[in-house]
């Protein structure tokens, strides 16, 4: 299935010059969503992953579905101030600003083997921050999976040392 054809481009969002790749249009096609989740379930069915950490907010969609399909726990990595209990935090840069990512301080345990999921890899800042949080909790990042990658923005290089798996690439500036 041509997943790229199902992803909408929104020019100048959230600010001028950004070509936003909107996966909400892909989600209108249940077969496409199923293909992604089933494909990842097959990819990660070797037992190496013990926990899925999903990035706020679109990563929740894919991470939640995969965690359900695989019978694994899911940890929500959220933007600052959204989690109700004690958290740990890491600041990161976006292609259009800075932000802070948090997870609950008791979300992972030593030895957990983590798959980080987000919808899109651009500059890599979000997942780099999440990986830092995973490591602070003495867990291991096994891989990071994305539906979309924007290779010209250099996110993969920023995630050096973390295996990266993507399904669709867009060569944007």
Three-state secondary structure of 64-106: HHHHHHHCCCEEEEEECCCCCCCEEEEEEEECCEEEEEEEECC
Q: Is 102 a catalytic residue?
A: no
CATH class of 46-169: alpha beta
Check residue 173 and give its pLDDT: 65
| pLDDT tens-digit readout, 127-164 | 999 999 999 999 999 999 999 999 999 999 999 999 99
Task: Give the DSSP H/E element, type plus range, for residue 125.
Answer: helix 125-136
Q: Is 140 a catalytic residue?
A: no
Check residue 94 and give its pLDDT: 67
Check residue 92 and give its pLDDT: 87
Check residue 28 and give its pLDDT: 98
pLDDT band for position 96 (50/70/90)? low
Check residue 135 and give its pLDDT: 97
- For the cut 70, the answer to whether the pLDDT of residue 95 exceeds it is no
Check residue 146 and give its pLDDT: 98
What mean pLDDT comes out for the span 104-108?
A: 98
Catalytic residue among 58, 78, 102, 149, which?
58
Q: Is 27 exposed, middle or buried (0-12, 13-18, 19+ CB in 10 A)?
A: middle
| pLDDT tens-digit readout, 60-82 | 999 999 999 999 999 999 999 99
Check residue 109 and give its pLDDT: 96
- What are the residue boundaries of the structural domains of the chain, listed by start? 46-169
Catalytic residue among 35, 43, 93, 95, which?
95
pLDDT band for position 124 (50/70/90)? very high
Q: CA 49, CA 143: separation in Å to the nearest integer?
A: 9
3-state secondary structure of 139: coil
| pLDDT tens-digit readout, 7-64 | 999 999 988 888 899 999 999 999 999 999 999 999 999 999 999 999 999 999 999 9
Of 9, 41, 21, 10, the C-alpha closest to 121 is 21
DSSP lists the bridge partners of residue 10 as 20
């Amino acid at each position: 299935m041509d997943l790229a054809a199902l992803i909408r481009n929104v020019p100048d969002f959230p600010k001028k010059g950004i070509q936003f790749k909107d996966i909400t249009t892909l989600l209108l096609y249940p077969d496409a969503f199923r293909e992604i989740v089933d494909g990842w379930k097959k990819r990660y069915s070797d037992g190496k992953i013990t926990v899925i950490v999903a990035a706020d907010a679109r990563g929740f969609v894919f991470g939640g579905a995969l965690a359900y399909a695989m019978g694994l726990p899911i940890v929500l990595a959220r933007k600052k101030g959204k989690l109700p209990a004690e958290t740990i935090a890491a600041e990161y840069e976006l292609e259009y600003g800075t932000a802070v990512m948090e997870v609950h301080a008791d979300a992972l345990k030593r030895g957990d083997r983590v798959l980080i999921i987000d919808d899109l890899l651009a500059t890599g800042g979000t997942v780099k921050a999440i990986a830092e949080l995973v490591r602070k909790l003495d867990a291991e990042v096994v891989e990071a999976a994305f539906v979309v990658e924007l290779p010209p923005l250099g996110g993969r290089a920023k995630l050096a040392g973390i295996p990266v798996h993507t399904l669709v690439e867009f060569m944007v500036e």
